[in-house]
Amino acid sequence: MLDAHFTAAPEAPRTRHGLGEQIRHRSPRPGAVAHIAVSSPPSRLRFLDYTRLSGPRDDVLDYAAFLFATDTGWGDTALELVSVEEEDGENLTVLLAKPL
């Protein structure tokens, strides 16, 4: 596993919470992955896996909803919205994390 340093852009917790609520109310759409970029930035922690979703806002939210709906973690979900890295009217970049 890579040991490169990764830092997410600081943001207001309200923004992340509001977007998390939007994701929970979306219809999961696995086909949205065809319209977005999915990457896996390196993590300094061996037991944490990051996933970055970037692209058109609706596609990012729908694919994130699919990932949350199919997550097999403990409790409600092991997958977590860590950061909203970029957001404008049409495009969105989010960072998700999941313990391994």
H/E stretch holding 7? none
Residue 43 phi, psi (nearest 5): -120, 140
Longest CA–CA separation in the chain, Å: 36
Q: How many C-beta atoms surround the C-beta of residue 98 within 10 A?
A: 17
Q: How many C-beta atoms surround the C-beta of residue 39 within 10 A?
A: 11
Digit-coded pLDDT (tens) for 71-98: 866 666 688 999 999 998 899 999 999 8
Q: What percent of the chain has pLDDT over 70?
A: 78
According to DSSP, residue 78 is labeled: S
CA separation for the pair 99, 46 (Å, rounded): 9
Read off the pLDDT band of 31 (50, 70, 90). very high
